[in-house]
Chains A and B, each alone.
Chain A
Amino acid sequence: MSESPPEDDTPLVAARGIVKTFGAFTALGGVDLTVKRGEIHALLGENGAGKSTLIKILGGLLAPDAGTITWDGRPVAIDDPATARALGIGIVFQHFALFEALTVAENIALALGPSVTPRNAARLVEALGSEHGLPVPADREVGTLSVGERQRVEILRCLAQKPRLLILDEPTSVLTPQEAADLFATLRRLAAGGCSVLFISHKLDEVRALTSAATILRAGKVVAHADPRRETAASLAAAMVGTEIPELKPAAAHALGPPRLVVDQLASHESDPHAVALKDISLEVRGGEIVGIAGIAGNGQKELFAHLAGERLAERAAMIRIDDRDAGMLGPTERRQLGAAFVPEERLGHAAVPNFSLTDNAFVTRHATSGAARGGLLRRSAARRIADAVISRFHVRTRGPGTEARRLSGGNLQKYVIGRDMIADPKVLVVDQPTWGVDAAAAAAIRQALIDLAAEGAAVLVISQDLDELFQVADRIAVLSLGRLGPARPVAALSRTDVGLAMGGIAAAEAERAHEAAAGAGEGTHAPHS
């Protein structure tokens, strides 16, 4: 480190009265945040509470409209990312900024500037990796790494710049429980070494296990400073949301019907080297049940959803059957006409058109199944009735059906795009990441709606990376890993650890291989710093 931290309890970073507005929208309305040296500090809040805006300000990506930031007790202006890096602020964003076609070492060398060659960087990767318990194969192309490994690369890239504050934005959302545990061990070691960590999450159990202080944001304001170890998950959630989250009501006992969605040895060939080929996927979802598909992102979820929704066609029609009709070669519209409905992961740009009103967005999935576009003519009044019905039944908070989709919060838009198909009482519903980035209250409402839909006899398939969610709603869970789907087992017979291990099964094997390769190549290297 260039300077040794002063021996007093001046906080490392103290932000006071930070204000940031975008037009009429106030993202941050006078926020205070204090992170002490060597502290693991949680920044909690629902989506849209202002967490991302605040870390972008700390990272020099956004300029605050008002407020001051002090660093080591000294006022600073963080005008750009270079200034933030020079101070010692490193950020690992939720969406990685890595070059997939370059190796790990080349990626790190790029971040460190022209004085560092990829060879030096490779040595640095080995040294930092063993120092912090973050094994990564330095000579592998990033595109071939698992998501967990990519995250390690991102963290190493920050560590290579010797940060004094490491900020992680929802780091565990892409990890198996085991990988998350490894990450926590690394973060604790870092903190013990004097590096402060700002940890952003909405998984409250993790926050309670890992952090010793928390700042809770709601709608751009700090609503509480707390010690998570002395709170319960419920009390933290109540502070985040402002109200109690309703408990899910399990479905009343109901008999299962015949299989309504059948996938039979579905396989895909991918021309894109970064896509995951599906391998002999077989699955049955009976009427009245919810089947969950667990797995870490990038194990074939996107490809599976595209094939189920008809955005991509199967090789044989019989590979996908909807209510006993061969549907593998049908497009999305024909599958919807068979009574199926689909909700993709991306709300904006996939499920909904950002610049279209909610009324016009009703046409996107319902043009052939609602009579709103009969004879090729748009009947806006019919579409508006659909939009109005969804808004009132699913409590979508919006000014009305004329509002553009992009103006809705994540949770409200998600309720809209799920509700848009749900009010048609679909026979089969396939939904990918139903509550991704959705606030807790909306997530509870969506999960309840899924449970209720299955109770009425629909076959529901939920693809999700959130194990807690799957254990809450699913009757059976199967794990998707590297394009292969394991057997769907009843939830009662499964533990989280089992599922987590199956999720990470292949990732773990890969890491082991990488370890061996690193042990072979890394002999005689020496840590260039320490």
Chain B
Amino acid sequence: MRLILEPRAAPPVWAKWAAPFAALAVTGLIGAIIFALLGKPPIESLRVMFLDPLLDPLSLEDVVVKSAPLVLIAVGLVFAYRSNNWNIGAEGQFVIGGLIAGGLAVAAAGGGASGPWLIVAMLAGGALGGIAWGAIPALLKIRFGASEILTSLMLVYVAEKILDYLVRGPWRDPKGFNFPQTISFEGWARLPTLGDGRFHIGIVLTLAIALFAAFVLARTLYGFSIRTFGESPRAARFAGFSPAKVSLSAFAISGGLAGLAGAIEVAGPIGQLQPSISPGYGFTAIIVAFLGRLSPIGCIFAGLALAVSFIGGEQAQILLNIPLDLTKVLQAVLLFAILGADALTRFRPRLIRSAGAAV
């Protein structure tokens, strides 16, 4: 007996968009089994984790705030993944973006300078920092053929260590009782907020960028070159598109948006630099990108779905004493489920009974 995957002649179009929902259902099922094995009530645990955040208006606001960095990073990753550039290091680019923005805020506060330019400089600096950090694996790939998967991933840890050093050393708040963190940012070092103060302007920016990205991808020659490189690199080169330019620009876009997301987090919800400024947004955004079908608009919805799991995970820890790490387990299960669902839309599994003839 062996299992083979036979290509399906024509995978229906709806299957591509049904796959995420199937994956969510499978993840819920596996989640319920894990909860049951942990001795937690499976149905209630699922409700707390995935449903309650959507029902309570306050939690819903949290979900939206939490989704912003996920969506922003994922939209950038769409450009990388659609062009066959496997940027796994958005977490590092996010950290560098936050670090640059935070550094500017610290320096401005130290010099007593402020003004609307500060927040603009923080966001621009964050984006540029992310671009620079993302350009490293791209240049290594172009120049030496180094696997961008490895280099971009390894640079995550480099970025985290740099941040860790800075907040424990030179940038530590002198009046902070030796806590490893910078001063709390104020005034123009913070993002303007909307409404009751929990929504910040970064959410609006994220939405606008996602829509613009969708336009670029679908309607411009640049977007066409990205998609062509992803579908068939030889055809893309034959079309006259430069692989080096596409690799570099795709890494610049994904790194830049991750850096911008880092700057927004630091200037928005967090308001200072700490040894850790991300609960793994850069990695979770990979799941968001795939769950959102590598489409910028799809990423908005997928980002909301993953944000639910973050908020729900915290709730489940408080209410049901379910470890927070389980959230990450379920996010990983979701990634496997979505990749599996994609494989099953393109291939039909078949069990072949072997006659057992041997040669």
Confirm or deny: B162 has a beta carbon within 8 angstroms of a beta carbon on chain A: no
A142 within 8 A of B: no
Please, which residues of chain B bring their CB within 8 A of the CB of A348? 232
Contact B9 A22 (CB under 8 A): yes
How far, in whole Å, are A342 and B239 apart by their CA atoms in the complex? 10
A356-B231 CB under 8 A given contacts A24-B10, A79-B355, A310-B240: yes
Residues of A within 8 A of B223 (CB): 378
* Complex-state Cα separation, A376 to B215, whole angstroms: 12
B221 touches A377 (CB 8 A): yes
Contact with A along B227-263 (1 / 0, CB 8 A): 1100110110111101000000000000000000000
339-359 of chain B: CB within 8 A of chain A: 352-355, 357-359
Q: State the total of A-B contacts with C-beta under 8 angstroms.
A: 98
Within B182-232, the residues touching A (CB, 8 Å) are: 218-224, 227-228, 231-232
Residue B161 at the chain A interface, CB threshold 8 Å? no
Stretch of A66-74, A171-179, A224-232, A331-339 with 4 or more beta carbons under 8 angstroms from chain B: A331-339
Q: Are B358 and A80 in contact (CB under 8 A)?
A: no
| Complex Cα–Cα for A301 and B236 (A) | 20
B8 contacts the other chain (CB 8 A): yes
Chain A residues with CB under 8 Å of B227's CB are: 356
Does A365 make an interface contact (CB < 8 A)? Answer: yes
Size class of the contact patch on chain B: 20 to 34
Contact B9 A355 (CB under 8 A): no
Q: Does A77 reach chain B (CB closer than 8 Å)?
A: yes
Beyond A22-B9, A23-B8, A23-B9, 13 additional contacts (C-beta under 8 Å) are A80-B352, A80-B355, A86-B359, A310-B240, A311-B237, A332-B240, A334-B240, A350-B232, A352-B235, A363-B224, A364-B235, A373-B224, A378-B220
Question: Which of B9, B224, B242, B357 is in CB contact (< 8 Å) with A86?
Answer: B357
Q: Is A145 an interface residue (CB 8 A)?
A: no
Chain A interface bracket (under 10, 10 to 19, 20 to 34, 35 or more): 35 or more
Q: Which residues of B are at the interface with A, using a C-beta cutoff of 8 A?
A: 7-10, 218-224, 227-228, 231-232, 234-235, 237-240, 242, 352-355, 357-359
Assembled-state Cα–Cα distance A22/B224 (Å): 31
In the complex, the answer to whether B240 meets A344 with C-beta atoms within 8 Å is no
Would you give the shortest CB distance from A302 to chain B, in whole angstroms? 11
Subset of 26 A-B contacts with CB under 8 Å: A22-B9, A77-B355, A79-B354, A79-B357, A80-B352, A80-B357, A82-B359, A86-B357, A86-B359, A311-B238, A331-B240, A333-B239, A334-B240, A342-B238, A344-B238, A348-B232, A349-B234, A349-B235, A350-B234, A350-B238, A368-B240, A373-B224, A376-B220, A377-B221, A378-B224, A407-B10
A24 to B242 alpha-carbon distance, docked (Å): 39
Contact A353 B235 (CB under 8 A): yes
Please tell me if the beta carbons of B354 and A25 are within 8 angstroms of each other in the complex: no
Contact A336 B221 (CB under 8 A): no
